[in-house]
A and B are shown apart, each in its own frame.
Chain A
Amino acid sequence: MKRVLQLFRTLILRPLRRDLLRTSLTVLAVALGVAVVIATSLAGDAATGSFLSSLETLVGRTDLEIVANGGVDEAWIGRLAALPVNARFAPVIETQAGIERAGSVTVYGIDAVARWRDSDGAVISTALARRLGVAKGATVALTLNDAAREFRVVDIVDAKDAEFVLLDIALAQQALNEYGRVDRIEVFAGARQDFAALERAIRATLPAGYELRKPGARSDENQRMVRAFRWNLLVLSYVSLVVGAFLIYNTISVSVVRRRPEIGVLRALGAGRRWILWLFLGEALLFGIAGSAVGVLLGRVLAVGAVGLIGQTVNALYVSSRPAPVALDGADVALAIVSGVSVAFFAALAPALEAMRVAPTEAMGRGAREHQARLHWRRDLAWAAVITLMAAAVSRIQPIDGKPVAGYVATLLAIAAAALAAPAVVIGVSRALGPASRALAGAEGLLAGRGLSAALGRTAVVVGALATAIAMMASVGIMVGSFRETVVVWLDTQLRADLYVRPASRGGGAGQFPALSPEVPGLIAGTPGVEAVDIFHGLEVRYGGVRATLGAGDADIVRRYGRLRFLPGEDRDAALQSLIGQDRIIVSEPFAYKHNVHPGETLTLPLGDRNVALTVAGIYYDYSSERGLIILDRGTLLKYLPQQPVTNLAIYLSPGADAIAVRHAIEERAAGRHILIAPNQALRENAVIVFDRTFAITYALEGVAITVAMLGAANSLLAMVLDRRRELGLLRYLGAAPAQLRRMILLEAGMVGFMANVLGLALGFALSLLLVYVINKQSFGWTIQFHPPAGLLAGALTLVWATTILAGFYPARVASRINPIEVIHEE
């Protein structure tokens, strides 16, 4: 054991210390990979972790809650209170309000203690008071739905860092125009109350449409909604680690190649094979441990930035959440260490095994060895073809537990196939470019091309690593670009109205539908120049354990003016016509996919106090909501939820009417009400902005993967330079100017970048097909049209190429400064 350590020190540690720059580049590459995984996981937790009602910090844990689609009738509080159980029933209204110069804030309406009851009294939390800089007695202006209203701060309560406003329930109902209705009833079991009996008693009393559930259910529901999103993000974050694995592989290979003579001597002196194996695995583990340790710290820092990015997506697509502080716990650290170390271990396995097989009398020179590697490229290419076919077959497998597991396996197989194809690409490209580069760059061109194909094993690994990063960038770019184009085209057909109206209260996140005052639709319909007004009711409903959006409009207007596109084979007009006066719905594609419903089927949706059977008349394309949409006719909605307020209006102008003039006229008529009137164009632009923001985190992850690959490129080019010191020195003897050596290394960098682009683009194209048609479809249910953003891709690839050449600058400088006399006799 002691002797192994001794060997480890002289054979591994000392060279690592001598090559400090390369050692740190490798550690940094692993660290970045680990950091991204950690940051994504931490930020995901923080961005989605705060679904718990901040009210709990004030009133304590609720035992049960009663909810219903469309709200709970407050009359039930009295009926429940009459039950022979020891429990308290508290009504709660929860909404978002705009607050001057301070964004939005959660407003709770609760059954307040007497001293708070006041015609305009509000209680605010200390954190909010601090942020607004207000004290007791001051007034705060809140925009609730489409009305602004001032409230007097009657008290400030301490609720740690939660920000909210409390109103008396009656005042809240009045301010929101929601008489007789609350969002939920919270149940607090009294002392010695049998919990099961309480649950039974309540359930027996409540009508069929009402749901009695544990308060945690809400949070679970949210987590379930964002699960696919987070899963995809996490998988994406592992790509950097995969790129890092290539680098470890490369570093250990270099280490083995360099120490081959020593290994031979050691074996001849009686060192066991296992010693040699563990010597190099030990080196890899060292990288893994150091990289993970740095990665954890780095990840903690990156997470803070990522929370905002992930939060944007969650808010836009799923549910309003407020980021919680980033918290690093033991499990995360363990995840980091395990992922970093295991990646290092498995990446090093092949070269370490190769080291183990070095014979005690190692006779073969490097030239012959590399020649042997060259002979394998055809075989490797054949394997690449086989694995590609396997990937294609695997990609057809259905999702497992809602996760596109097969898609990811196919992705890994595709990456493996690309890695195996890398030697062929190196040979092919250097053969194709050889004559040209020799003609254009003379000796440097010849040497650069030959140098790369001669060190085939080495070059192929660098090309593979870079190509994987490029492929990831290209594939996600193609996926997002296609998605964006699909959305833009869809917005074009979807948004046909000229003007759109909604309340101005803030909080436009998913699942929030502030109400318009009842008189607004009439005011607008009577404005000259307005031909038709589509009155729309949006509300969040629970269906099948997750949330969805229920929308009700005038089916006839939608049919006449709108352009909903239905899935192939469905008759749009007939489907929309059939909604009128019947319990029929159309659902969006993601809803249909998530809940596995088909046209003609009936689903049971609780509405108010009833369970309503609704028949699916058709499925239409929609890209506005991942949670899914259910659309029915207004008449049907109002039959079951007569009080449901109008939330949005779509205005169609008479032919020839001036949109700007009509808009002004509407603003005048609706003066005093805080409504937003958006022209079609603005709404479309806004939708695209939201879309782009949603994918910001993806771009960030890609950036890191590319950075890791760049570190790898610099590292490998440097290794190639150091390994060929003797040759570079010899070239000086043969009359090469230092500038020629510099050019040669830069040319090599350029060629490596080109090879990586060729391979990366091919792999990226394959991965983008998997992303668009398998992973995205299985995760979210969206049908995306394939639209590669050619210009963007070309720009990104050129940038990567330029960066690869940039990564060659330092190695090139090292090459030009080699002292020929010192290196000429080295082997």
Chain B
Amino acid sequence: MSLPRLELRRASKTYQSNGQSLRALYDVSFTVEAGSVTALVGRSGCGKTTLLNLAGAMDFPTSGDVLIDGESTSALSESALTALRRNRIGFVFQFFQLLPALTVLENVELPLLLAGAPDSQKAARDRLQWVGLEDKASALPYQLSGGQAQRTAIARALAHSPDILIADEPTGNLDNASGEQVLNLIRESAEKWGAAVLMATHSSEAAAIAQTQIRLRDGRIEETIRA
């Protein structure tokens, strides 16, 4: 049996603020396989974003482990983490987070440029074409609609063909039609590109594209539903 692409093993996260400690995650364990979509659902404040940051190796559990292909993120050096983010992880955010000074194409190309990848422009054009925005390549972000902006963000997250896609409420700011387009792209990134997708969402339409739904409540897994 091959190792799961992403695995959380009894991961807990405690925030320290103003001398008080707040436990945001409590003994969370699950796996995400390559080519599958896992949805995180639950009330606001239940710990979804916290969990995504752990899974994306942006943050580290206070106890337990986050394993990517069996390797614990806590054990990695700063440069290994940067390499990990560059080569293997893609992020999509609720508020798109495009760089306003760069064109659509440059935004998509950015992760490749940061990684110093060759032929970055061609790869970026391919992704833009995939999300259906090749005609907006030289537009600036403020000239895009919310749906277009989020599609750009997905193209950017997948520019470097990551193994893991982390999406934090990707449809949270979109109308239904745009949301549907975005969800299709996310599904495709798992099915077509083989990414392991972990997505936090409040919407049932979004959750519906997932093979697995994990419901969090106060930092614990309340239930796991497999489609």
Do A446 and B85 have beta carbons less than 8 Å apart?
A: no
How long is the Cα–Cα vector from A494 to B109 in the complex, in angstroms?
A: 69
Known: A733-B85, A821-B58, A821-B59. A454 touches B93 (CB 8 A): no
At the interface, yes or no: A450 with Cβ under 8 Å from chain B? Answer: yes
How long is the Cα–Cα vector from A447 to B109 in the complex, in angstroms?
A: 12
How long is the Cα–Cα vector from A825 to B56 in the complex, in angstroms?
A: 16
CB under 8 Å from chain A, chain B span 81-115: 82, 85-87, 91, 93, 95, 97, 99-102, 106, 110-111, 113-115
Do A733 and B91 have beta carbons less than 8 Å apart?
A: yes
**How far, in Å, is A369 (CB) from chain B's closest CB?**
9
CB under 8 Å from chain A, chain B span 53-92: 53, 56, 58-59, 78-79, 82, 85-87, 91
Do A740 and B114 have beta carbons less than 8 Å apart?
A: yes
**How far, in Å, is B165 (CB) from chain A's closest CB?**
13
At the interface, yes or no: B130 with Cβ under 8 Å from chain A? Answer: no
Among B95, B99, B114, contact of A735 (Cβ-Cβ < 8 Å): B114
Q: Mark A437-481, 1 if CB is under 8 A from B, else 0.
A: 000001100110011011100000000000000000000000000
Do B113 and A442 have beta carbons less than 8 Å apart?
A: yes
User: Please, how many residues of chain A have a CB less than 8 angstroms from a CB on the other chain?
Assistant: 32
Do B142 and A365 have beta carbons less than 8 Å apart?
A: yes
| Chain A hits for B78, CB < 8 A | 737-738
| Chain B hits for A734, CB < 8 A | 85, 91, 110-111, 114, 156
**How far, in Å, is A182 (CB) from chain B's closest CB?**
80
How long is the Cα–Cα vector from A824 to B100 in the complex, in angstroms?
A: 15
| Chain B hits for A451, CB < 8 A | 101
At the interface, yes or no: B133 with Cβ under 8 Å from chain A? Answer: no
| Chain A hits for B19, CB < 8 A | none
The listed residue with most A CB atoms (<10 A of its CB), out of B82, B101, B110, B160, is B101
At the interface, yes or no: A202 with Cβ under 8 Å from chain B? Answer: no
How long is the Cα–Cα vector from A366 to B98 in the complex, in angstroms?
A: 13
| Chain B hits for A450, CB < 8 A | 99, 101-102, 106
At the interface, yes or no: A403 with Cβ under 8 Å from chain B? Answer: no
Do A821 and B97 have beta carbons less than 8 Å apart?
A: no
CB under 8 Å from chain B, chain A span 687-727: 726-727
Do B142 and A446 have beta carbons less than 8 Å apart?
A: no
**How far, in Å, is B172 (CB) from chain A's closest CB?**
12
How long is the Cα–Cα vector from A368 to B113 in the complex, in angstroms?
A: 25
Among A455, A730, A825, contact of B99 (Cβ-Cβ < 8 Å): A730
Do B97 and A368 have beta carbons less than 8 Å apart?
A: no
At the interface, yes or no: A679 with Cβ under 8 Å from chain B? Answer: no
Q: Mark A796-827, 1 if CB is under 8 A from B, else 0.
A: 00000000000000000000000011001101
Known: A367-B142, A442-B113, A733-B91. A453 touches B101 (CB 8 A): yes
Known: A733-B91, A734-B114. A371 touches B97 (CB 8 A): no
**How far, in Å, is B162 (CB) from chain A's closest CB?**
10
The listed residue with most A CB atoms (<10 A of its CB), out of B53, B85, B113, B160, is B113
User: What residue of chain B has the Cβ atom nearest to residue A453's Cβ?
Assistant: B101
At the interface, yes or no: B140 with Cβ under 8 Å from chain A? Answer: yes
| Chain B hits for A370, CB < 8 A | 100
**How far, in Å, is B52 (CB) from chain A's closest CB?**
10
At the interface, yes or no: B141 with Cβ under 8 Å from chain A? Answer: yes
Do A446 and B106 have beta carbons less than 8 Å apart?
A: yes
CB under 8 Å from chain B, chain A span 346-396: 365-368, 370-371
How long is the Cα–Cα vector from A426 to B189 in the complex, in angstroms?
A: 40
How long is the Cα–Cα vector from A451 to B99 in the complex, in angstroms?
A: 9
| Chain B hits for A726, CB < 8 A | 97
Among B58, B79, B99, contact of A737 (Cβ-Cβ < 8 Å): B79
Among B56, B59, B142, B160, contact of A371 (Cβ-Cβ < 8 Å): B142
**How far, in Å, is B138 (CB) from chain A's closest CB?**
13
Do B53 and A821 have beta carbons less than 8 Å apart?
A: yes
Do A735 and B86 have beta carbons less than 8 Å apart?
A: yes
**How far, in Å, is A553 (CB) from chain B's closest CB?**
71
How long is the Cα–Cα vector from A442 to B113 in the complex, in angstroms?
A: 6
Q: How many A-B residue pairs have C-beta atoms within 8 angstroms? Tell me.
A: 76
How long is the Cα–Cα vector from A386 to B140 in the complex, in angstroms?
A: 33
User: What residue of chain B has the Cβ atom nearest to residue A371's Cβ?
Assistant: B142
At the interface, yes or no: A731 with Cβ under 8 Å from chain B? Answer: yes
At the interface, yes or no: A736 with Cβ under 8 Å from chain B? Answer: yes
How long is the Cα–Cα vector from A785 to B139 in the complex, in angstroms?
A: 53
How long is the Cα–Cα vector from A824 to B52 in the complex, in angstroms?
A: 13
Do A731 and B114 have beta carbons less than 8 Å apart?
A: yes
Q: Mark B176-210, 1 if CB is under 8 A from A, else 0.
A: 00000000000000000000000000000000000
Among B56, B95, B110, B142, contact of A443 (Cβ-Cβ < 8 Å): B110
How long is the Cα–Cα vector from A366 to B99 in the complex, in angstroms?
A: 12
| Chain B hits for A825, CB < 8 A | 95
| Chain B hits for A736, CB < 8 A | 82, 114
**How far, in Å, is B4 (CB) from chain A's closest CB?**
23
Among A365, A455, A738, A824, contact of B93 (Cβ-Cβ < 8 Å): A824
| Chain A hits for B141, CB < 8 A | 367
| Chain A hits for B160, CB < 8 A | 735
CB under 8 Å from chain B, chain A span 403-453: 442-443, 446-447, 450-451, 453
Do B91 and A367 have beta carbons less than 8 Å apart?
A: no
User: What residue of chain B has the Cβ atom nearest to residue A368's Cβ?
Assistant: B142
Do B100 and A735 have beta carbons less than 8 Å apart?
A: no
**How far, in Å, is B155 (CB) from chain A's closest CB?**
13
| Chain B hits for A367, CB < 8 A | 100, 140-142
**How far, in Å, is B121 (CB) from chain A's closest CB?**
11
Do B102 and A820 have beta carbons less than 8 Å apart?
A: no
Q: Mark A319-352, 1 if CB is under 8 A from B, else 0.
A: 0000000000000000000000000000000000
How long is the Cα–Cα vector from A817 to B86 in the complex, in angstroms?
A: 18
Do B142 and A824 have beta carbons less than 8 Å apart?
A: no
The listed residue with most A CB atoms (<10 A of its CB), out of B56, B79, B87, B115, is B115
Please provide the 9 A-B residue pairs with the shortest distance between their CB atoms, ordered closest to farther: A454-B101, A735-B86, A367-B100, A443-B113, A367-B142, A450-B101, A735-B85, A737-B82, A443-B114
Chain B residues at the A interface, C-beta cutoff of 8 Å: 53, 56, 58-59, 78-79, 82, 85-87, 91, 93, 95, 97, 99-102, 106, 110-111, 113-116, 140-142, 156, 160
Chain A residues at the B interface, C-beta cutoff of 8 Å: 365-368, 370-371, 442-443, 446-447, 450-451, 453-455, 726-727, 730-738, 740, 820-821, 824-825, 827
6 further interface pairs, Cβ-Cβ under 8 Å (given A446-B102, A735-B114):
A450-B101, A454-B101, A455-B101, A734-B111, A821-B53, A824-B97
Q: Sample 10 A-B pairs with CB under 8 A, ordered by A number.
A: A366-B100, A446-B102, A451-B101, A453-B101, A455-B101, A731-B110, A733-B91, A734-B85, A735-B86, A740-B114
